[in-house]
Amino acid sequence: MGEAKKIRVDMHEGQLSTDLERYRQLALELGASKASIVKAEQIPVDERVQMKCQIPRCFGYGVGAQCPPNTMKAAELRELLAKYQWAVLFIKDIPAEVIVRDRATIKERVEAYQQLYSIVSEVESAAFHDGHYLAFGFAAGSCRHTFCGQLADCQAMKGDKCRFSLKSRPSMEAVGIDVYKMVALAGWDIFPIGSGDKAPNVPKGTLAGLVIVQ
Ligand code: SF4
């Protein structure tokens, strides 16, 4: 992180395109496979994505503060996004044997998700300190399993402080962003992967993160 910039009423609008490119590069330096600058109005938000958390019921549904039905609804996100113009999207490709639900690769899988969350929080923090102080980001999967998987519960659900308050955040899909569509729109490859899928049938795994900058 560079030196914090003085807050300005224009939120450093003139610096925005340079900053966006820097955040794109930062995501790549931190381990993203691909990164792109996107318009906020092109982020596809769809209520049906949150419906898929419930039907069939995801193991993360209702058990963490950052997952449905406890996080913001698609309509709320849509309203928020209308106030923003630019975002940085990135993906991290991981091997098929790591993305599929196989106990043998659980350590690598959790590490990959943790790295994705780190990229989101680093890029968001860089934007914040550059004066884009309303920047916010979304990661992938569920923080309940990425950070608290070995623990009995989500502390924030009990009204206590989140154990990983600066790293934990909702996933893109948890708030209704159609990640498959957004990654495909960026021109990158992504494949549907179901709970019972086995590695030989999966070309690769893709984790996605998004930081809405200004
Ligand atoms: S990181 Fe842990 S304590 Fe924090 S919201 Fe997620 S599950 Fe709850």
Distance of CA 94 to the CA centre of its chain: 15
Q: What confidence tier does 66 reach under pLDDT thresholds 50, 70, 90?
A: very high
DSSP letter at 56?
T
pLDDT at 2 over 80: no
Q: Where are the domains of the chain?
A: 13-212
Which pLDDT value is given to residue 1?
Answer: 67
Which pLDDT value is given to residue 14?
Answer: 86
pLDDT in tens, 3-49: 888 988 888 888 999 999 999 999 999 999 999 999 999 999 999 99
Closest-CA residue, ligand 1 atom 4, reads: 162
Mean pLDDT of 196-200: 93
DSSP letter at 209?
E
Distance of CA 197 to the CA centre of its chain: 23
Distance 203 CA to ligand 1 centre (A): 31
pLDDT in tens, 121-168: 999 999 999 999 999 999 999 999 999 999 999 999 999 999 999 999
The response to whether residue 145 sits with its C-beta less than 6 Å from ligand 1 reads no
- φ/ψ (deg, to 5) at 159: 90, 5
pLDDT in tens, 85-102: 999 999 999 999 999 999
Mean pLDDT of 198-208: 96
Taking the C-alpha atoms of residue 44 and residue 13, their distance in angstroms, rounded to an integer, is 24
Mean pLDDT of 62-84: 97
Which of 65, 74, 64, 71 minimizes the C-alpha distance to 43? 74
The response to whether residue 143 sits with its C-beta less than 6 Å from ligand 1 reads yes
Arithmetic mean of pLDDT over the chain = 96
Cis peptide before 170 (omega within 30 of 0): no
Which pLDDT value is given to residue 12?
Answer: 84
Which of 143, 165, 167 to mutate for ligand 1's pocket (most ligand atoms within 8 Å of CB)?
143
Taking the C-alpha atoms of residue 207 and residue 191, their distance in angstroms, rounded to an integer, is 11
Taking the C-alpha atoms of residue 10 and residue 47, their distance in angstroms, rounded to an integer, is 33
Non-local (6+) Cβ contacts of 17 within 8 A are none
> Across-strand partners of 89?
36, 210
Taking a C-beta distance cutoff of 8 angstroms, is the pair 71, 201 a contact? Answer: no
Which pLDDT value is given to residue 3?
Answer: 85
